[in-house]
Amino acid sequence: MQRPYNFAPGPAALPQPVLEQAAAEMLDWQGAGMSVMEVSHRSAAFEEMHNRSLDNLRKLLKLPDDFTILYLQGGASGHNAAIPMNICAPDDVANMVITGAWSVKSAKDAQPYCQVHEAANAKTADGGFLHVPEFASWDLKPAAMTLICSNETVHGVQFPEFPDVASHDAGALVVDCSSDILSRPFDWSKIGVAFGGAQKNIGPAGLALVIIRKDLLGKAQAITPRVWNYQTAHDANSLHHTPSTYGIYLAGLVFDWLLEQGGVDAIEQINNQKAALLYDYIDQSSMYENRVQVPYRSKMNIPFFLADEALNAEFLAQSVDAGLLNLRGHRSVGGMRASIYNSMPLAGVQALVAFMQEFERTH
Ligand SMILES: *Cc1c(COP(=O)(O)O)cnc(C)c1O
């Protein structure tokens, strides 16, 4: 079955083989006579699957032993609050580096639990975001943490590499990597906490991941709900309470699929190819434009504008007819956005570019 290509920013497309396997196992998972959703999270079969997914994720991330992976709930947004609750005292400073809509929200959500300090803000005069400010220009205070968003999903701005904030006494680097985890290798020597919702590049909504260096555990503020205390989650192997069981199952299938593709290094090559194809086409075209400064352009979320915005509705209607779904840009940015996560095949981006070419030719 040829399905349309889904360019949604999140919840986003999942690899077709993963969906096929999930469908085939829906009524009878591993001979249990029931779906994985109906199985106890305390059963041996579930726990085996749970541990396998954690091991495979660790392998894919090339994660050092001094980090633990926590499967939690509450989305990335919940952990905007839970991270400062877990690693800051109320009077500790948290540096915030604002490069788009999601880091704006992180700073706001952290406010009740620490002393938020805006170390950099890349907002343009007209309210957009087009770059990551030079590291040397950041106003870093001595802090318990410094937060960045590695890939701003709404604005299409991505950190090419992670800053070394430890050398500036700026605490643990906290990275919201909701929309680029597993799309490229991460330098864990720079990171204290990486976190995100699963629904962009990993699996279904409902599962959230916190990957935290173990020396940062055990510092939670007294008000921290126990379900969001990272030490509690770590001690219980993320099974302190009922986790997002179906989310963990699907994430595990995605990790199997990713290992079959050759892991993160291999998928990064394809992601680079996909992004280059679309940006190269946009840059040579007189009809389309991406405004993000070249070194900071996202390889996952590519916003673009039509020179004549009056054609937006027609572009969107015709793209749906061509089997290309969810290209409308975020309401705060306008225009179009193509989200091309790991699960988007090169053929999907080729189909998009062919459609854009044809639309340009006929308009
Ligand atoms: C989608 C997204 C979020 C919000 O995730 P929720 O799971 O809805 O809370 C946060 N940060 C980034 C970078 C995102 O892309």
The tens digit of pLDDT for each residue in 2-14 reads 899 999 999 999 9
Token duo for residue 324 = 């290309």
pLDDT at residue 115 tops 80: yes
pLDDT at 1 over 80: no
- Cβ(290) – ligand 1 distance below 6 Å: no
Say if residue 162's pLDDT is above 90: yes
What is the atom index within ligand 1 of the atom nearest the CA of 199? 7
Among 102, 138, 228, 257, the one annotated catalytic: 102
Tell me, in angstroms, the distance from the centre of ligand 1 to residue 76's CA: 5
Q: Give the separation between CA 359 and CA 282, rounded to whole angstroms.
A: 13
pTM of the entire predicted model: 0.98
CB-side exposure of 271: number of CA atoms within 13 Å? 27
CA of 211 to the centre of ligand 1 (A): 16
Is 200 tagged catalytic?
A: yes
Q: Is residue 149 lining ligand 1, measured as CB closer than 6 Å?
A: yes
Residues 34-64: tens digit of each pLDDT:
999 999 999 999 999 999 999 999 999 999 9
The pLDDT assigned to 58 comes to 98
pLDDT for the residue numbered 196: 98
pLDDT band, very low/low/confident/very high, at 324 (cuts 50, 70, 90): very high
Q: Is the dihedral of CA 173, 177, 180, 184 positive or negative?
A: positive
How much is the average pLDDT of 262-278? 98
Q: What is the number of the ligand 1 atom nearest to the C-alpha of 10? A: 1
Q: Is 257 designated active site?
A: no
Distance of CA 91 to the CA centre of its chain: 29
Nearest to 195 by CA among 347, 115, 319, 82: 82
CA dihedral 26, 30, 33, 34 (to 10 degrees): -40
Q: Give me ligand 1 centre to Cα 42, in Å.
A: 29
pLDDT above 70 coverage of the chain, percent: 100
Mean pLDDT over all residues of the chain?
97
Mean pLDDT of 94-120: 98
Q: Is the CB of 341 under 6 A from ligand 1?
A: no
> Could you tell me the distance, in angstroms and rounded to a whole number, from the CA of residue 34 to the centre of ligand 1?
32
pLDDT at 267: 98
